């Protein structure tokens, strides 16, 4: 209310004519509603110049008395209003009791009103001396006009210690029903040991209807007690008369204050407030205790009088809400949100919430919902909801949203223990929360339940029991809970799943073998569901451990890994039951269960699968069925198919991981591996040195800079891909992060190169895995490729940025980059497209540009190629797709059909490109690769279409032309983004598969069906004894995909025993040669004949397979026989000439001479046998 100036004194009630009763010393009786000053302050008599005793005059006289004084009232009869006239009343500077109950006519409700209508930014009473008491007044209409100022606008300001405020209306009219607001009803500022209210109804204050707070405690105010008050309702406690900002607000250094208590009548009614019922705010607001209150209900505890938020602890620590002793718990129901613990500065920690009813009525047997969540913890660590000891658990049930929500990345280390979540106070009847019982969103390292006795929660009757989701939701533990059952273990299902993990939540633990399993049963969905979203949101949920629980009788699956959840780790098989044994992923932990159906009611124990995947559990199993789960770094699998106990257990049918519906064709339906970021490029190669093709994929920005990663999917011995290993990168912006594979330090192992905005980053292979990347150049990169450009048998790097730059490899590093061109090139490909045996660079800036390498190693001006329509090209590949042993250029024209094209520029005998052969293609052709898909020795073409998401395969016919496009479905993508594609045998079945980096869905794999044509072996070449074979001019590269070891070497005239592995993509006829020559030369130093390499034998090896060549006798007659014997020699493996240039090594890695892998042999020290040099490397 705005004060209105007046020209005449405010009308007031003056004493009746006649003598005024004499007052005792220190006792002053107010007999007038006027506002006059005392005529002679300090004379011990309250009298104005007119002879009446006003409240102002009484305070003035009291302030001169240093002992405790009393101010009573005798203003006629009945209700009276005192209105200070344009100025504040004096501060109270001496202890005094101001007692409105002395007014004649008082009958339990205050009838002396102190009204601030004619003042501006003042307080009703400012008490600066204690102990003082204010009792039985109505104080209203003192406002600071729009500012929540603590020092003015208060009904009562307490700025001294040990005061009592009881039986007052603060912010209401004299009826106790209508708001007549102060800014704050009462403020306690830097003062302690004050009591506001009391245990009796007569001591109750009604602090309602104020524009700011009903009661505010601020500054260094400690050990104050707020008891039995109504804050936010009328005097009956049945109707809201809201405080606008908060009912009770505790802030700054206010600590050790008591809000309510366990004694009868100690609890406050805190309801009907517009924002907060009670808020404790500030890092130093510590150890405040909130007990025995009713927050959000009426006085009966059976009906809602809503606060927007019942209780909020904001950036405050070590506070307690409730307690384990009878009477200490609060009723927090009927609000918008029940209880919120939050901190924008992440500082609200160490708070306890125990023994409360949250979302039920006062009996704990019926719903009285908070319409949002019961308890919410956001951005803040280390709080305890419940506890393992008697009385510490809360009943958190009946709420409209979550029972308990723990949200956002700084909410770590919070504990939810011993609560009933979704049941009544007995733990047996359903009072479910509307959403999940416990929700963990983007929050790491929290515990639901625990491993000690009685720490588990009963979580039943909710939407889902426990939901965990978001990229930061990792390392959370759910242990020892009853989920879907009541406190006695009887069915009380959650409506959806028992535990639901999704949306990039990874590395969480459900149960465990340390003695803290959950019971997860009778839920209407799955027991535990782990789901990676496939589609627009690109989210992955993996590495979640689900172990040793009792999971049974759920309507869905016991464990359901959906859409890439836990990487859809293949479940184990159970083959026998006495003892229990079977197969699982190699090296996986296998948990063994008994169940009456196909889940796992009884956990018996665990064992490990060996390197071949076999496992045996030595303990007893009870049945009637035996099931098992497997756990690896990828997470835990679904349950195996159940096998009944019998003396001779039948071999069960393996339950396959769910895949999309089968479609006819060469490739099986796709499999998706979400990674949680935006995939960009992909490469295949043996990145772990075990002879199996792995997959590497780069990703770009999704939610944070940490999303610029490289993920390594390692192929396991059973042909599956392990869950991805993430590597951080030096990338700092932009999207495209091109990948390519090759040996970059000449050690015979496949490394990985990544184009980043900061230069080319190389991930070297060492000790069976990729190491963290290092930058080898320093500039913006767009594309990167690898081959031996200068013919020194050491791989080099070619970058486009968009300059083309060449980094020559030394085996231990790279040269300073040489700029080849500054013509704004995007993609680059490498290969001999001019027929001179030297590596050329092919790029595009719309046209096809060929930079021919000159004899001196420099590159000439580019030759430009287009079709007759002047098409603009977007993606390129270099390979022999015309069957003439010459490398051609494949280019795509982006757009919608019929304007989209696949064009092949064939290389002619003159070393130039002819006009392209043009092939129809689907809309939006993207990245393109060439490989021998059907194993017929000819290079085929694979193209991925953006947007509509199809993979197309063009097989090369015997006439050198491409067939029409075979089309295979991959997931739909809403974004027209350049995906990546790579080819390789990534399930070790001898057939090539397609790996696609899908911007929306992660890694997509198309595996060839088992019914695909069997690769045809290439005829064995005719050997010429005693002479080095003449290479095919187009280049023979396939031996670059071989690894050779010498388990048994020898000197001259000694049998050679060689193990050969074909890491190529089709069958190879491999010639094995010997030469008595030290590694690196000089040639024939011992005068041996025949001179040079001598063919020992030729073998045909299927792709990805090994064979041992033994007893292949080669004899040398050496002039220096003694020098030759026991010395180093070289063994060379050379593949036959194939019409599939660049199948394995990548474009541009072919030589005009046969590539080979060379190993030094020394029969005097076989341990020195080692690869000495290689021309091209495996896994390209």
- Residues 676 and 639 both lie in one domain: no
* pLDDT for the residue 1138: 37
Q: What is the pLDDT of residue 802?
A: 78
Cα–Cα–Cα angle for 915, 918, 924, rounded to 5 degrees: 130
Looking at the fold, whether 637 and 677 belong to one and the same domain comes out as: no
Q: Are residues 224 and 104 in the same domain?
A: yes
Which CATH number fits the domain that encloses residue 585?
A: 2.60.40
pLDDT value at residue 1121: 55
Indicate if the pLDDT at residue 495 is higher than 50: yes
The last residue of one of the domains, among 987, 1006, 1025, is 1006
Residue 998, in any domain of the structure: yes
C-alpha neighbours within 13 Å on the C-beta side of residue 44: 6
Residue 403 in any domain: the answer is no
Q: Are residues 737 and 783 in the same domain?
A: yes
Domain co-membership, 902 together with 997? yes
More confident of the two residues 975 and 123:
123
Helix (H) or strand (E) holding 131: none
Answer yes or no: do 1082 and 1145 share one domain: yes
Domain residues for the domain of 134 are: 79-255
Q: Could you say which of 605, 628, 644 is where a domain stops?
A: 644
Which has more confidence, 479 or 611?
Answer: 479
pLDDT at 1043 over 60: no
Instruction: Kindly report the CATH number assigned to the domain that includes residue 948.
Output: 2.130.10.130
Tokens of 1043: 């690894």
The residue ranking higher by pLDDT, 976 or 850, is 850
Rounded CA-CA distance 158/124 in Å is 11
Q: For 499-523, what is each residue's pLDDT tens digit? A: 999 988 999 999 999 888 999 999 9
For residues 1003-1020, average pLDDT:
54
Distance from CA of residue 1100 to its chain's centroid? 49
Of the candidates 607, 645, 609, the one whose C-alpha atom is nearest the C-alpha of residue 626 is 645
723 and 858 co-located in one domain: yes
pLDDT in tens, 193-249: 999 999 999 999 999 999 999 999 999 999 999 999 999 999 999 999 999 999 999
pLDDT (0 to 100) of residue 679: 78
**Do 1164 and 1052 share a structural domain?**
yes
Domain co-membership, 938 together with 1069:
no
Q: Is residue 941 part of a domain?
A: yes
Residue 50 has pLDDT above 90, yes or no: yes
Q: Do residues 426 and 447 make contact, with C-beta atoms less than 8 angstroms apart?
A: no
Is residue 961 located within the same domain as residue 1059? no
The predicted-structure confidence for 1122-1169, as pLDDT tens digits, reads as follows: 555 444 445 555 544 333 333 333 333 322 223 333 333 333 333 333
pLDDT score for 1119 = 63
Of 192, 225, 255, which residue constitutes the final position of a domain?
A: 255
- What pTM value is reported for the model? 0.71
Please give the pLDDT value at position 780: 67
Average pLDDT of every residue of the chain: 84
Determine, yes or no, domain membership for 482. no
Give the pLDDT confidence score for residue 1149 in this predicted structure.
32
Which residues, 6 or more positions from 710, have their beta carbon under 8 angstroms from its beta carbon? 696, 697, 698, 699, 726, 727, 729, 737, 739, 752, 754, 763, 770, 773
Query: Which pLDDT belongs to residue 716?
Result: 84
Of the pLDDT bands very low, low, confident and very high (cuts 50, 70, 90), residue 66 is confident
In this structure, are 98 and 165 located in the same domain? yes
Sheet strands side by side (includes 614-617): 573-577, 580-583, 614-617
Number of domains in the chain: 4
User: Could you tell me if residue 340 is inside a domain?
Assistant: no
Measured in degrees and rounded to the nearest 5, phi and psi for residue 63 equal: -65, -20
Q: Which of 946, 924, 1057 is nearest to 998 (CA)?
A: 946
Residue 774 sits in the same domain as residue 890: yes
Predicted confidence (pLDDT) at residue 1110 exceeds the cutoff of 50 = no
């Amino acid at each position: 209310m705005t004060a209105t100036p007046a020209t005449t004194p405010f009308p007031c009630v003056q004493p009746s004519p006649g003598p005024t009763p004499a007052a005792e010393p220190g006792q002053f009786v107010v007999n007038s509603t006027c506002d006059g000053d005392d005529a002679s302050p300090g004379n011990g008599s309250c009298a104005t110049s007119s002879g009446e005793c006003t409240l102002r005059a009484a305070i003035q006289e009291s302030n001169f008395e240093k002992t405790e004084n009393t101010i009573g009232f005798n203003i006629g009869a009945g209700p009276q209003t005192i209105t200070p006239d344009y100025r504040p009343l004096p501060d109270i500077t001496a202890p005094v009791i101001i007692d409105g109950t002395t007014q004649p006519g008082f009958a339990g409700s205050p009838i002396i009103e102190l009204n601030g209508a004619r003042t501006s930014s003042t307080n009703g009473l400012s008490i600066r001396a204690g102990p003082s008491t204010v009792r039985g007044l109505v104080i209203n209409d003192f406002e600071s006009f729009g500012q929540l100022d603590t020092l003015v606008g208060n009904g009562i300001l307490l700025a001294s210690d040990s005061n009592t405020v009881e039986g007052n209306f603060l912010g209401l009219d004299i009826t106790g029903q209508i708001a007549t607001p102060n800014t704050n009803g009462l403020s306690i500022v830097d003062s302690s040991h004050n009591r506001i209210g009391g245990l009796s109804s007569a001591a109750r204050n009604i602090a309602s209807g104020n524009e700011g707070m009903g009661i505010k405690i601020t500054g260094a105010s400690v050990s104050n007690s707020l008891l039995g008050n109504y804050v936010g309702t009328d005097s009956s406690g049945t109707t809201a008369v809201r405080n606008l900002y908060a009912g009770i607000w505790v802030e700054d250094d206010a600590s050790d204050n008591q809000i309510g208590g366990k004694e009868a009548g100690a609890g406050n009614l805190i309801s009907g407030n517009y924002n907060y019922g009670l808020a404790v705010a500030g890092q130093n607001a510590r150890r405040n205790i909130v007990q025995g209150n009713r927050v959000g209900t009426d006085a009966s505890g059976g009906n809602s009088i809503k606060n927007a938020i019942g209780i909020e602890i904001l950036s405050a620590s070590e506070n307690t809400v409730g307690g384990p002793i009878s009477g200490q718990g609060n009723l927090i129901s009927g609000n918008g949100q029940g209880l919120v613990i939050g901190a924008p500065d992440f500082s609200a920690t160490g708070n306890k919430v125990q023994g409360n009813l949250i979302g039920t009525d006062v009996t704990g047997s019926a719903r009285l919902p908070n319409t949002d969540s019961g308890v919410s913890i956001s951005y803040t660590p280390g709080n305890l909801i419940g506890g393992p000891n008697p009385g510490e658990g809360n009943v958190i049930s009946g709420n409209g949203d979550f029972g308990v929500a723990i949200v956002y990345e700084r909410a770590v280390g919070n504990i939810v223990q011993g609560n009933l979540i979704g049941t009544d106070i007995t733990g047996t009847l359903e009072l479910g929360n509307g959403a999940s019982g416990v929700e963990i969103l983007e929050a790491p390292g929290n515990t639901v339940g625990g491993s000690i006795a009685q720490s588990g929660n009963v979580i039943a009757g909710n939407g889902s029991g426990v939901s965990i989701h978001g990229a930061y939701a990792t390392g959370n533990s759910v242990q020892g809970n009853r989920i879907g059952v009541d406190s006695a273990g009887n069915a009380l299902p959650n409506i959806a799943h028992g535990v639901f993990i999704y949306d990039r939540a990874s590395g969480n633990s459900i149960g465990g073998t340390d003695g803290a399993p959950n019971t997860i049963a009778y839920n209407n969905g799955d027991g535990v569901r782990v789901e990676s979203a496939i589609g627009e949101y690109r989210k992955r949920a993996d590495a979640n451990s689900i172990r040793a629980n009792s999971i049974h009788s759920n309507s869905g699956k016991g464990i359901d890994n959906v859409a890439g959840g836990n990487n859809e780790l293949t479940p184990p098989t159970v083959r026998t039951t006495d003892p229990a044994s079977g197969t699982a992923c190699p090296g996986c932990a296998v948990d063994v269960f008994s169940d009456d159906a196909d889940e796992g009611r009884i956990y018996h124990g665990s064992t490990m699968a060996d390197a071949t995947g076999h496992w045996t559990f030595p303990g007893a199993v009870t049945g009637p069925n035996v099931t098992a789960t497997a756990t690896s770094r990828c997470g835990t699998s679904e349950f195996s198919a159940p096998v009944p106990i019998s003396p001779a257990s039948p071999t069960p049918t393996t339950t396959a991981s769910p895949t999309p519906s089968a479609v006819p064709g060469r490739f099986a339906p796709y499999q998706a591996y979400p990674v949680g970021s935006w995939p960009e490029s992909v490469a295949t190669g043996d990145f772990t040195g075990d002879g199996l093709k792995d997959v590497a994929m780069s990703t770009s920005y999704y939610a944070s800079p940490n999303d610029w990663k490289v993920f390594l999917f390692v192929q396991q011995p059973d042909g599956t891909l392990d869950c991805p290993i993430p590597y951080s990168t030096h990338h700092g912006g932009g999207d495209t992060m091109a990948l390519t594979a090759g040996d970059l330090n000449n050690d015979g192992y496949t490394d990985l190169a990544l184009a980043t905005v900061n230069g080319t980053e190389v991930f070297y292979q060492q000790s069976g895995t990729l190491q963290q990347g290092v930058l080898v150049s320093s500039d913006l990169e767009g594309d990167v490729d690898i081959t031996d450009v200068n013919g020194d048998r050491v791989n080099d790097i070619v970058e486009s940025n968009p300059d083309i730059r060449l980094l020559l490899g030394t085996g231990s590093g790279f040269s300073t980059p040489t700029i080849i061109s500054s013509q704004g090139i995007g993609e680059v490909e490498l290969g001999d497209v001019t027929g001179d045996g030297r590596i050329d660079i092919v790029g595009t800036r719309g046209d096809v540009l060929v930079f021919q390498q000159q004899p001196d190693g420099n590159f000439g001006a580019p030759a430009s190629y287009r079709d007759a329509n002047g098409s603009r090209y977007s993606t390129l590949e270099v390979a022999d797709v015309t069957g003439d042993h010459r490398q051609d250029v494949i280019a795509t024209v982006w757009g919608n059909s019929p304007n989209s094209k696949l064009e092949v520029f064939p290389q002619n005998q003159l070393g130039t490109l002819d006009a392209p052969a043009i092939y129809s293609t689907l809309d939006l052709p993207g990245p393109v690769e060439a490989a021998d898909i059907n194993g017929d020795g000819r290079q085929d073409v694979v193209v991925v279409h953006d947007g509509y998401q199809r993979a197309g395969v063009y097989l090369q016919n015997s006439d050198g032309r491409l067939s029409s496009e075979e089309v295979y479905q991959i997931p739909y993508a809403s974004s027209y983004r350049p995906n990546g594609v790579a080819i390789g045998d990534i399930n070790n079945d001898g057939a090539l598969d397609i790996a696609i980096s899908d911007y929306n869905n992660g890694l997509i794999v198309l595996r060839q069906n088992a019914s695909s044509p069997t690769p045809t072996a290439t005829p064995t070449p005719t050997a010429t004894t005693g002479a080095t074979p003449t290479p095919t001019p187009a280049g023979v590269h396939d031996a670059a995909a071989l690894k050779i070891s010498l388990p048994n070497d020898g000197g001259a005239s000694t049998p050679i025993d060689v193990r050969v592995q074909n890491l190529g993509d089709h069958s190879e006829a491999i010639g094995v040669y010997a030469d008595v020559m030290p590694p690196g030369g000089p040639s024939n130093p011992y005068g041996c004949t025949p001179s040079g390499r001598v063919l020992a034998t030729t073998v045909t090896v299927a792709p990805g397979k090994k064979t041992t060549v033994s007893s292949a006798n080669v004899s040398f007659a050496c002039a220096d026989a003694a020098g030759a014997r026991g010395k180093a020699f070289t063994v060379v493996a050379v593949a036959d000439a194939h019409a599939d240039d660049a199948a394995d090594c990548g474009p541009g890695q072919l030589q005009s001479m046969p590539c080979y892998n060379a190993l030094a042999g020394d029969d005097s020290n076989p341990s020195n046998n080692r690869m000495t040099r290689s021309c091209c490397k495996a896994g390209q």
